[in-house]
Structure 1
Amino acid sequence: MKFDRKTWRLIATAGLFLLATVLCIATWAVANAPRSGPDRPKVTDWMQAWGSIAGVFAGLAAAGAATALLLFERRQAREARAELAAQRAESDLTGARLVVATSPEIFMYGPAYVSDVAVTVHNFGPAPILRVFVVIKLFPGADELLPAPANVIPPLSGEARFAVGLETDPMKVPHSDELLLGESAEVTLYFTDATGQGWRKGKVGQPEKVRIAVPPSVQASAPAVSPEGD
């Protein structure tokens, strides 16, 4: 077992304190001991007294060492837990990074109108993802498109296709370049991993942990649950 610098400083401080205390007691005893007469302490008295003092300080030293060891072990356990938590967080983040959405496939209806939009989500991670939502925004200011969610996408190259049909109400877009629209569109994923952690992931940046992995617009449209008995 190897103590860190802080623990050694604590042990050294406790040792110096004990030594200083012993020297103070010794100085006081010598200064106040009778020089002669029947009350003058004998060698056996000194040995017994110093033996008692040594026993007390040995006990204190043992208690100090045990305390230092306990503090050291607690610190080691705390660091180990923090390291394990960091490893788990990194593992979860790696799995979320491996969920990838393609750029939207866009089908035009006449000049500058969109009739259909589709996005494919791939799960290259080692575990399935659950309750997957896709939110598509074709251009700034456009209404969000919300295809039906997928209950599960299997791991290791599993995929699901999310499509929205706008034939009855085509969306007018700034231009008719399907490829350019698909590349510039904003796609946001919401999903839950196998551990129950919710995630939100856009086209750029790192995945973000969320408490509820459901698009805000879907949460707002969910029916309110009345309290029991109402």
Structure 2
Amino acid sequence: MLAAEAPKITDWMQAWGSLAGLVMSTAAVIFTGLLFRHEIRVRREEQRDGEAAQARLIVCGVAELDVRGDEVRGAFWYVANHSSAPIFDLKAWIVANYAATGVIFEGDEELQTLHVLEPGQTHRGRLNFLDTYSAETVGLDHVACAAEFYDGFGLQWRREGGLPPERIVEFDDKEQSLLSLTWSYLWVLSDPFKLLWGKVLAMKSAASLHMQLAVLKRAKRRR
């Protein structure tokens, strides 16, 4: 009697077919989530690249050192605006060029400011070092000009020598950006897997019900 009411091979085949469908659905959901996550990352990179378009056209550097005798007293710097929009609240100073080797140069020097630098203009100035250095020790490749400014969209940037511009973000904006990014990832991972888990439970219930009905039908036929 028990052997007669046991599930047949066709029932197992249908169950395995349901399991295969479940595996394929799982793979499709995971692939969709990963693809959407990649799309979010690409769009964020494109947004950051677009935001830095003007900042990349702001060039700062050291033209020459102010050498008096065998001592270096300061540096002549410049900031050039090659973009089509003005920059605001420009701050410039001299720092150590960390790409250079062999010299330890204390860079945190005098600061100069400018309210507006119009498109196509170059602002030049001279900064005194806080200390004097030997001309045999400190050369032009040991120092760099650093600048902070606001672009035409009100975003604040920092450039140092030939390095790429870096966005200066307030703490609240960073926190908001982190929360936004975390929420995006969680949303990508949560909704598809909630849907997947619902499908798993539904298919499990359907397979169990199907096998129970098959057993009942065979039992009725034997009666």
- TM-score (ref. length: structure 2): 0.47
| Structure with a larger share of its residues in helix | 2
Name the structure with the higher strand share: 2
Q: Higher RCO, 1 or 2 (CA under 8 Å, sep at least 6)?
A: 2
- Which structure's CA Rg is the greater one? 1
For normalisation by structure 1, the TM-score amounts to 0.46
